[in-house]
Structure 1
Amino acid sequence: MKGIRGISKLSTRLYAAQVARKLDVSAEHVKFQPQEVQVTKLPSGLVIASLDNYSPGSRIGVFVKAGCRYESPENQGVTHLLRLAANLVLLVHQHDVDRSFNVLNTVVTSSRENMIYSVDCLRDHIDTVMEYLINVTTAPEFRPWEVSDLTPRVKMDKALAAQTPQMGVIEGLHGAAYKNALSNSLYCPDYMVSQVDSDHMHNFIQNNFTSARMALVGLGVDHNVLKQVGEQFLNIRSGMGTAGTKAQYRGGEVRVQNGSSLVHSVVVSEGAAVGTDEAMAFSVLQHVLGAGPHIKRGSNPTSKLFHGVAKATADPFDASAFNSNYSDSGLFGVYTISQSAAAGDVIKAAISQVKAVTGGVSEADLTRAKTQLKAEYLMSLESSEGLLDAMGSQALSGGVYHSPEAIAQKIDSVSATDVANAANKFVSGKKSMASSGNLIKTPFVDEI
């Protein structure tokens, strides 16, 4: 509802007052010591990560290595169904939820690598809320008739995604760039709509939702409480589950011809895996080139891509560096939006700007890019959603959490040579390309 802040953003003074009443003292005398993120890995492999920020509201999430990259040809689209089916478990308890107002918000999202189940709740009702979250992730029923009823929602999701050119281009890019794993779509393929059934969903959860592939993460919750919940309820299935296939980059092209006057196009080479020093160099390179406007609805006056492309065309356009990192691979390149007639000039001008960086980058540009990257990362942690995602992603991938100070140090350690090497990897690497729009003036990947 507009005008009402989320419960996790309420002042800590409210929680202080509640504690004061219980202790029968003045709220001014209640002192809270700043807490650090705590991470514990249980013998089962389950990772517990928490930060007690003394908020009256808590946010709890279960992160699972069960993204669409783990789908097989026989169950393509199952993660799409799992996203939509999560609320089926909550509906069983909907009366209790409405009556007690324990659960304030439930969100289920997925990426190519992970599925994330998160809930917002009042701090005093964590035990009750955890029951819902555990039922969603470990004990779903997936009644056949309910799964069949999801078909219209699957079709609607796909239709909405198709109306977003950026989504279609990025999905097409992954399909063209990889032979397997990361080529799987976030959405159920047309030929599998209504073919994925409750057995597919149960089998996928049985094979992938194991303790060693999960992280239980909480904000506004005591670490010992969260640890106890994990030990009692999420030590469910032992083992590493389904072994993921290593992504194989191949390079390729997909073109979607339609009547749009705007051409969306992305050209990439293989980048770097998440968490590596090379990935950090690519992130700095992204900001050297221009990662998009840093002010809402603003221009990007420091973007090399913007100024370089502006010299090549007088038509309206947009250009930004594209960077995506996964556990075993990555994609780096340029994303352009232009009028159909100018598409070729815009794409080639953007790529030329990356080539220019291979010769070196000035100290001023390097410092600016690092500052922007650090600011972007720190700002992402200001919201409970962003902080929970950072904690969960790091805990799930490596069983640790790197503080903002540690991340800033890694950014500062990137040298001009590292950035130039990253640019050279893009320039010399095998290209992948995805384009959508009126493509009569859009070059093919072997022409750029």
Structure 2
Amino acid sequence: MRGIRPLSNISKRCYAATRRIEPLTESLGSMKPVTAAPLTPQDVQVSKLPNGLVVASLENNSPLSSVGMFVKAGSRYETTENLGVTHVLRLAANLTTKAASAFKICRSLEAVGGSLSVTSSRETMVYSASCLRKDVDSLLEFLINVTTTQEFRPWEVQELTTRVKVDKALAEQSPQMSVIETLHKAAYKSGLSNSLYCPDYMVGRISSEQLHSFVEGTFTSSRMALVGLGVKHSVLRQVAEGLLSARSGPGAPVAKSLYRGGELRLHNNDDLVHALIASEGGVTGTAEANAFTVLQRILGAGPHVKRGSSLNGKLNQGIAKATTKPFDATAFNASYSDSGLFGIYTIAQANSAGEVIQAAVAQVKGVAEGSVSEAEVLNAKNQVKAEYLMSLEANEGLVEELGAQALATAAYQAPEAVAQAIDAVTQGDVVNAAKKFVAGKKTMASSGHLSNTPFVDEV
């Protein structure tokens, strides 16, 4: 038995016969193409409700809607009693709420073809969801449920212990992640020194009561921003006013993170030494932060070609003249609401780590002394603008930018304004940024076989 032929194998004569049944009555040249009415372009709309919650939206007429809830609830808001609570909270996003079980949340999202993800940083926690436009009302309902009506049933929280261990173990396998976490621990006294991951001694000890207490103190309307892409602003406002009224209040106070500098060394038998040395950088949204961003591109922020090398950066060019041994070097830049870190990240063999680090620092000192041209600054500014604008081409990047600005300033700065702020960075601003790194109190984190790795006071 040969079976039924698939549709792709149906003879073309079927289509030819159908075509002959409906002969043309007028020439193709006289037929006018049908054109749909052009869609009216929309601007970003931002509203701040009386309860303090910020609503931002961009109606781009997309068939796909993306929404996000941004909360000032990163690891910097943890205390010594609940260290690791944000790590557990991130993994608990799909647990049972007062309105739906974990099973219902999963099946309902599948039914509408939607997705839900949770990410966190040292300052914010972001709940993101997307689905077809026609199902956005259901999606918003589930997003509000998982962010404001959590139950944290003790047995479900306890079952997260294995996932916390696995998540932490995967992060620790990355030397880069370990060094960055260690750098923050050494650089700050509190707040920003808290890790993104649960410490070993707290794994399995975060209780449902601690989760409830943390959420009640941080998930309040004045610390939230609801953003949408492909959603009407009036719809978001209605949801925010109706379902978030119970979350009013200022929330827990924010402790300022104090930069102190210092050094932490992670000794092991790895032949590759990862070292990161930094000074205090610029605060997010300031002109100084823009100058550090441009300086990062001048020094080298990684390859521009997949699996390529960053040979155009000053770091790699300078280190290549100082040693013939293999290495990798990039500039590190992280900005926060009240502080920042800027430095250089090097990877080298254990026996050459010292000369690679010294050569990298010498390149920054050279920029601080004025060895940077206008052409290099212009090239770096073009890289920064291109990377920023390309990030907005994807829905995820645009939602992230909308949420970050809404949460920080309750307003939105158009890409043109951001590009103008980058263009305003001068050669002198870049030199001053390099001088701040050279003269500032240093913080250093290193990992590997460190017998030939200098201490921070020797750099």
Interval containing the TM-score (normalised by the shorter chain): over 0.9
CA separation of 1:261/1:143 partners in 2, compared to 1, >3 Å: closer, same or farther? Answer: same
CA distance in 2, matches of 1:104, 1:331: 37
Query: Per-residue displacement from partner, 1:112-150 (whole Å, max 9, x unpaired)?
Result: 000000111111011111111111100011000110111
Q: Which amino acid aligns with 1:271?
A: G
For residue 372 of structure 1, the aligned residue among 366, 379, 383 is: 383
Shift of the alpha carbon at 1:96? 4.4
- The answer for the alignment partner of 2:395 in structure 1 is 384
Q: Given the alignment of the two structures, is residue 439 of structure 1 paired with residue 444 of structure 2, yes or no?
A: no
- The answer for the alignment partner of 2:289 in structure 1 is 279
- The answer for the alignment partner of 2:30 in structure 1 is none
Shift of the alpha carbon at 1:52? 1.1
Q: Which amino acid aligns with 2:89?
A: L
Q: Given the alignment of the two structures, is residue 417 of structure 1 paired with residue 428 of structure 2, yes or no?
A: yes
Q: Given the alignment of the two structures, is residue 399 of structure 1 paired with residue 410 of structure 2, yes or no?
A: yes
Map 1:22-61 onto structure 2 (within 5 A): 28-61=35-68
Q: Which amino acid aligns with 2:90?
A: R
Query: Per-residue displacement from partner, 1:351-386 (whole Å, max 9, x unpaired)?
Result: 111101112221100100100110111111111111
CA distance in 1, matches of 2:146, 2:350: 46
CA contact (8 A) 1:218 1:226 kept: yes
CA distance in 2, matches of 1:378, 1:262: 35
CA distance in 1, matches of 2:374, 2:127: 43
Query: Per-residue displacement from partner, 1:244-267 (whole Å, max 9, x unpaired)?
Result: 100100001111111211111100
- The percent of aligned pairs where both chains have the same amino acid is 60
CA contact (8 A) 2:318 2:360 kept: yes
CA distance in 2, matches of 1:323, 1:28: 49
SS at match of 1:377: helix
CA contact (8 A) 1:37 1:50 kept: yes
SS at match of 1:354: helix
CA contact (8 A) 2:109 2:139 kept: no
Whichever of the two has the greater Rg, that structure is: 2
CA distance in 1, matches of 2:426, 2:408: 26
- The answer for the alignment partner of 2:176 in structure 1 is 166
Q: Which amino acid aligns with 1:409?
A: Q
- The answer for the alignment partner of 1:128 in structure 2 is 138
CA distance in 1, matches of 2:78, 2:452: 37
CA distance in 2, matches of 1:446, 1:205: 42
CA contact (8 A) 2:272 2:449 kept: yes
Shift of the alpha carbon at 1:241? 0.5
Shift of the alpha carbon at 1:79? 0.3
SS at match of 1:181: coil
- The answer for the alignment partner of 2:72 in structure 1 is 65
Query: Per-residue displacement from partner, 1:148-197 (whole Å, max 9, x unpaired)?
Result: 11111111111111101111000000000000000001001111111110
Map 1:132-143 onto structure 2 (within 5 A): 132-143=142-153
For residue 176 of structure 1, the aligned residue among 166, 186, 207 is: 186
CA distance in 2, matches of 1:68, 1:166: 19
Shift of the alpha carbon at 1:235? 2.6
Q: Indicate the RMSD between aligned Cα atoms, in angstroms.
A: 1.3
Q: Which amino acid aligns with 2:428?
A: T
CA contact (8 A) 1:69 1:181 kept: yes
SS at match of 1:441: coil
CA contact (8 A) 1:142 1:198 kept: yes
CA separation of 1:27/1:157 partners in 2, compared to 1, >3 Å: closer, same or farther? Answer: farther
Map 1:132-211 onto structure 2 (within 5 A): 132-211=142-221
CA contact (8 A) 2:94 2:105 kept: no
How many aligned residue pairs are there? Answer: 422
CA separation of 1:306/1:126 partners in 2, compared to 1, >3 Å: closer, same or farther? Answer: same
- The answer for the alignment partner of 1:23 in structure 2 is none
CA distance in 2, matches of 1:277, 1:126: 38
The normalised TM-score by structure 2 is 0.90
Shift of the alpha carbon at 1:28? 2.6
SS at match of 2:342: strand
Stretches of 4+ moved more than 6 A in 1?
Answer: none
CA distance in 1, matches of 2:209, 2:402: 32
CA separation of 1:421/1:432 partners in 2, compared to 1, >3 Å: closer, same or farther? Answer: same
- The answer for the alignment partner of 1:335 in structure 2 is 345
The normalised TM-score by structure 1 is 0.92
Query: Per-residue displacement from partner, 1:370-427 (whole Å, max 9, x unpaired)?
Result: 0011011111111111111111001001111111100000001011111111100000
Shift of the alpha carbon at 1:30? 2.8
Shift of the alpha carbon at 1:292? 1.0
Q: Given the alignment of the two structures, is residue 358 of structure 1 paired with residue 376 of structure 2, yes or no?
A: no
For residue 91 of structure 1, the aligned residue among 102, 107, 112 is: 102
SS at match of 2:94: helix
Q: Which structure 1 segments of 5+ residues have no match?
A: 1-25
CA separation of 1:177/1:226 partners in 2, compared to 1, >3 Å: closer, same or farther? Answer: same
CA distance in 2, matches of 1:134, 1:103: 18
Q: Which amino acid aligns with 1:330?
A: G
CA separation of 1:312/1:44 partners in 2, compared to 1, >3 Å: closer, same or farther? Answer: same
Query: Per-residue displacement from partner, 1:332-369 (whole Å, max 9, x unpaired)?
Result: 01011111111111111111111011122211001001
CA contact (8 A) 2:279 2:440 kept: yes
